Amino acid sequence: MADKAKIFAKLLPRLEQVIGGAAARDEKLQRVCDLLRAEVPYFDWVGFYITDPEKRGDLVLGPYRGAPTEHVRISVGTGICGRAAHTRRMFVVQDVSKETNYLACSPDVKAEIVLPILVGGAVWGELDIDSHTLAPFSSEDGEFLGKVCSLVAEMVRGGD
Ligand code: SME
């Protein structure tokens, strides 16, 4: 996708402004989802899963933009989100039909990228993005979304 670099370069300062702003944490996360979904044509579902402080093996759905999902709580190790939390590493799936340990949200979803958000060495949460396009993600997406997650981690560390 030729325009990726341009889109990401324009979007990053806007996201920095939102995440560094004065609003409440979940309002900021919601705005991040809204901006990513609105500005990147192949980001069809954008959401945050947040580690349950009461049950640290679980991820709970936080702010998101896109179709409602039945997967509001995911155990670590389950699906793409749960496995990314387990390994603490970005997980890119270019074709979800090839995955066996996968929690389907909608038959329209073709690909998914999940990035853990680490705070103090632990998984605080994750940024999860579904695409209706097959194999849409490149290293540019990983780099850009990694920066977004670092900004969110900084915000969380700062006490928001
Ligand atoms: N597909 C994810 C579940 C969450 S939805 O994409 C919103 C998974 O396999 O973990």
pLDDT tens digit sequence for 29-38 = 999 999 999 9
The mean predicted confidence, pLDDT, of the chain is 96
pTM (global) more than 0.85: yes
Ligand 1 midpoint to CA 11 (Å): 24
CA distances, 8 to each of 2, 47, 120, 140, 142 (Å): 11, 18, 27, 9, 11
- d(CA 157, CA 160) in angstroms, rounded, equals 7
Whose CA is closest to 35, among 71, 10, 60?
10
Give the nearest ligand 1 atom to 74 CA: 10
Any ligand 1 atom below 6 A from CB of 79 = yes
Residue 97 has pLDDT above 90, yes or no: yes
Using a 10 angstrom Cβ sphere, with 0-12 exposed, 13-18 middle and 19 or more buried, the burial of residue 13 is exposed
Paired strand residues for 122: 119
Q: Is the CB of 58 under 6 A from ligand 1?
A: no
- Say yes or no: CB of residue 105 within 6 Å of ligand 1: yes
Give the Cα separation of 56 and 123 in Å (integer): 9
pLDDT score, position 57: 85
- 82 CA: nearest ligand 1 atom: 10
Buried/exposed 47-86: b ≥16 CB within 10 Å, e otherwise: bbbbbeeeeeebbbbbbbbbeebebeebebebbbbbbbbb
Question: Residue 79 Cα, ligand 1 centroid: separation in angstroms?
Answer: 6
| CB neighbourhood size of 93 (10 A) | 22
Whether 59 is in the pocket of ligand 1, judged by its Cβ within 6 Å, is no
- The residues that bridge with 74 in the sheet, in sequence order, are 59
22 Cα–ligand 1 center, Å: 30
Residue 145 Cβ contacting ligand 1 at under 6 Å: no
